[in-house]
Amino acid sequence: MTSSAIAIVQLTRPVLAQYLADLLELERLVVAELGIAYDVHPWGVPEFELEVPSKWDFSWSAVDTATDKAVGCLVVSRFGDNLHAHRNIVHPDYRRHGIASRFLEHHFAKAQAAGLNYFTAQVPYDNRASRDWYLNRGFGLLKDEGLAWYMDARGSTDENARDHLATPEGQWWVVRYTISDYTPPA
């Protein structure tokens, strides 16, 4: 597998319908691999099809053009002038080929053109690899006041545990990227 065989396409309703079975299988695979370090609530059809603000404008899928299979997705929603990742997953056989980074390149360019401020993601507290992946790409870890901003903006009633969120379902790191800081690769 080479990354040149991967197309990054906007995740629209028709694209989701075409690749839903692949994305559901990917979700099952990653849950089996990572368990709660991935998420305590695996997605099924209702979650993938859920209508949330700006989802169809700022979400992406990775498709292996040789097999016509979806091998990853970035699913986001908008709150105010901010975007939030609900899913950023890549099939294990396709990791370390820049797919998730390509999602962000497409995503940030479009979000920047739309004048949006931030991009956030919640990462399970036990998943330091994902947290570090975001931090290595210029995201900041929200703490104290930053975490309070996030909770207020999202209408969260979870506990601000100073450097992470504590929820009845578990604990989460929250990372944030300032979209205006994005510079397209040369």
Cα–Cα dist 122/138, whole Å: 15
pLDDT band at 3 (very low <50, low <70, confident <90, very high): very low
Q: Is the pLDDT of residue 4 over 80?
A: no
- Checking if the pLDDT of 123 tops 60, the result is yes
Q: What pLDDT score was predicted for residue 40?
A: 79
- Domain locations along the chain: 3-181
CA distances from 9 to 18, 43, 130, 142 (A): 12, 21, 23, 30
CATH number of the domain located at residue range(s) 3-181 in this protein? 3.40.630.30
How far apart (Å, rounded) are the C-alpha atoms in residues 42 and 27? 7
Question: Which two structure tokens, joined as six digits, stand for 127?
Answer: 């998943």
pLDDT digits (tens, 9 = 90+) for 124-157: 999 999 999 999 999 999 999 999 999 999 888 8
Query: How far is residue 55 from each of residues 14, 38, 115, 136, measured CA to CA in Å?
Result: 13, 21, 16, 25
Q: Of the candidates 130, 132, 128, 109, which has an alpha carbon nearest to the alpha carbon of residue 119?
A: 109
> What does the block give as tokens for 37?
């370090």
pLDDT averaged over every residue in the chain: 93
pLDDT at 116 over 60: yes
Say whether pTM exceeds 0.85: yes
